[in-house]
Amino acid sequence: MASMEAPVGAWSRVAQALSHPIRVVVASFLAAILGGTALLMIPLAAASGESTDPVTALFTATSAVCVTGLVLVDTGTYWSGFGQGVILVLIQMGGLGIMTLASVLAVLIGRRIGVRASLLSGAEARRGSGVAMNAREVVVGVVRTSLLFEAAVALILIVRFLITYDEAPGRALYLGVFHAVSAFNNAGFGLYADSLERFALDPVISLTIAGAIICGGLGFPVLWELRRLWRRPREWSLHTRMTVAATAALLGVSTVVITFAEWGNDATMGTFSGPGKLLAGFFHAVNTRTAGFNSVPIGEMRSESLLASDVFMFIGAGSAGTAGGIKVTTFVLMGYIMWAELRGERQVIASRRTVPADVQRQALTVAFFGVTAIAVSTWLLLSTSAFSLDVVLFEVVSAFGTVGLSTGITASLPTHGQLLLTVLMFVGRLGPLTVGASLALRTRPRRFEFPEERTIVG
């Protein structure tokens, strides 16, 4: 009898552990990564027909599931058709998974704190009529939205590859679908050894890919609300207003900064025409929002461009989307908090809305978590490799922000360095989401108060 009760008790404990939504998120992504690693180690997955070493397989699977794009081997030549198919499926699972799980967590948080507002702004979804969405509707909406965007982008790319580049129909179809899925999910995986450098001056491919990246990075809550209220911006939720305004502002600033810094750099875009430089600068600015494609060689960029890219990669894009980073809403909220402190105001006001104190703490915690992870990882890589600070920091921020841009040192890092980046991609993908959600879900009223005492700040 005791022998039967033991496994039953063990399974009940596992079920209880998995019942927590945060544990479900982490366990789901770990399972996908381990399954992808096993499939990529099969000899059939490599073009050579030989088994891939565990580190390369694990790194690639993690990069795909976490929709990052960092690679140790060239995707288009090292992996077979089967291996590339596995990577594509992992990208789709990762992109859909993060949008779905983040949106469902938003619904759960909304129920916990009892706020009727838009997804992730007050954290419960509402239709134009004010009726809240349930988890099933969120999942269906995420899948439908993703597939529609990917199909539209793939169609444009397929036609372009067919007509302009004389690709065979089957090859054009494959290129279009692969890059469409990779772009909308902000993965940055490409089938060309130079990423998209050969298309740097092609406005159709560059702008189509950039558009898919932006839409995927906005997040399902924003896309859902814009589709219904795009003509009535005054009715947008605070989250949507923040995300759209910050995205537009950051894209504009980053385009100007990168284009200006690289204007005379002949190794990147210095030889392009004026419009070509603007196109390349805009494309890089979009990809620092956590996509990972590049149309100019990142390793040849100037140090000031790398530093600026670090900042934009750390910020990332929208919540409950396919992008990484600490998210633009976190960044904007910290700006509002600082502004309120400078003005000596007791409340933080954003667009005529009071930001709750617990949301302020969540934003500061997520930002501090990101800074700490990047600082520790950068120190570890600097102490165990011979690369300079600017390229190591770029690589670390790219991994944490699940961006995928690289100066080219990834494959040259020691094995422990590659494993560190693997962990960082996983932490960067799930860290901000799980930290923010767990803080919201675990809010507890204190039954007593301690006496106040001030410390000197600054």
Q: At 216, list the tokens.
A: 């995927």
**Domain limits, the chain:** 20-440
Helix/strand/coil for 202? coil
pLDDT at 215 over 50: yes
Which pLDDT does position 1 carry in this prediction? Answer: 47
pLDDT at 450 over 50: yes
Which pLDDT does position 123 carry in this prediction? Answer: 37
% of the chain residues with pLDDT over 70: 81
Which pLDDT does position 232 carry in this prediction? Answer: 87
Quick check: 403 and 284 in contact, CB under 8 A?
no
Q: Of 426, 423, 406, 390, give the one whose Cα is nearest residue 72.
A: 406
Distance between CA atoms of 40 and 324, rounded to whole angstroms? 24
Q: How confident is the model at residue 214 (pLDDT cuts 50, 70, 90)?
A: very high
Quick check: 289 and 316 in contact, CB under 8 A?
yes
Q: How confident is the model at residue 82 (pLDDT cuts 50, 70, 90)?
A: very high
Least confident among 9-18, 333-342, 441-450: 9-18
pLDDT at 122 over 60: no
**More confident site: 174 or 138:** 174
Distance between CA atoms of 197 and 120, rounded to whole angstroms? 36
Which pLDDT does position 102 carry in this prediction? Answer: 61
Exposure string of 163-198, with b = 16+ CB inside 10 Å and e = fewer, is eeeebeeeebbbbbbbbbbbbbbbbbbbbbeebbbe
Q: How confident is the model at residue 227 (pLDDT cuts 50, 70, 90)?
A: confident
pLDDT at 440 over 60: no
Over residues 31-75, the pLDDT tens digits come to 999 999 999 999 999 999 999 999 999 999 999 999 999 999 999
pLDDT at 23 over 80: no
Average pLDDT of the segment spanning 222-244: 88
Residue 123 region by backbone torsions, left for phi larger than 0, else alpha for psi between -120 and 50, else beta: left
Which pLDDT does position 295 carry in this prediction? Answer: 95
Most confident of 21-30, 94-103, 418-427: 418-427
Which pLDDT does position 457 carry in this prediction? Answer: 65
Which pLDDT does position 126 carry in this prediction? Answer: 36
Provide the residue type at 317 as one letter: A
Q: At 276, list the tokens.
A: 């070509």
Average pLDDT of the segment spanning 67-85: 95
Phi and psi at residue 271, to the nearest 5°: -90, -5
Average pLDDT of the segment spanning 383-400: 94
Which pLDDT does position 46 carry in this prediction? Answer: 96
Q: At 407, list the tokens.
A: 């100066």
pLDDT at 245 over 60: yes
% of the chain residues with pLDDT over 90: 58
pLDDT at 109 over 80: no
Least confident among 68-77, 111-120, 343-352, 384-393: 111-120
Average pLDDT of the segment spanning 290-296: 91
Distance between CA atoms of 257 and 252, rounded to whole angstroms? 9
**More confident site: 414 or 17:** 414
Helix axes 415-441, 21-40, angle to 10 degrees: 160
The mean of the pLDDT values for the chain is: 84
CB contact set of 386 (below 8 Å; sequence gap of 6+): none
User: What are the Cα distances from residue 233, in Å, to 144, 163, 227, 242, 390?
Assistant: 24, 39, 11, 12, 41
Q: Write the burial class of residue 450 (CB in 10 Å: 0-12 exposed, 13-18 middle, 19+ buried).
A: exposed
Average pLDDT of the segment spanning 218-240: 87
User: What are the Cα distances from residue 183, in Å, to 85, 292, 385?
Assistant: 16, 9, 32
pLDDT at 410 over 80: yes
Distance between CA atoms of 16 and 192, rounded to whole angstroms? 45
Q: How confident is the model at residue 115 (pLDDT cuts 50, 70, 90)?
A: very low
Distance between CA atoms of 184 and 149, rounded to whole angstroms? 7
Phi and psi at residue 70, to the nearest 5°: -70, 140
Task: Read off the pTM.
Answer: 0.85
Quick check: 431 and 101 in contact, CB under 8 A?
no
Quick check: 17 and 410 in contact, CB under 8 A?
no
Q: DSSP string covering 412-424, please?
A: GS-HHHHHHHHHH
First-last CA distance in the chain: 64
Average pLDDT of the segment spanning 126-130: 36
pLDDT at 192 over 70: yes
Instruction: Write down how long the chain is.
Output: 458
Distance between CA atoms of 313 and 394, rounded to whole angstroms? 9
Q: How confident is the model at residue 20 (pLDDT cuts 50, 70, 90)?
A: low
pLDDT at 230 over 80: yes
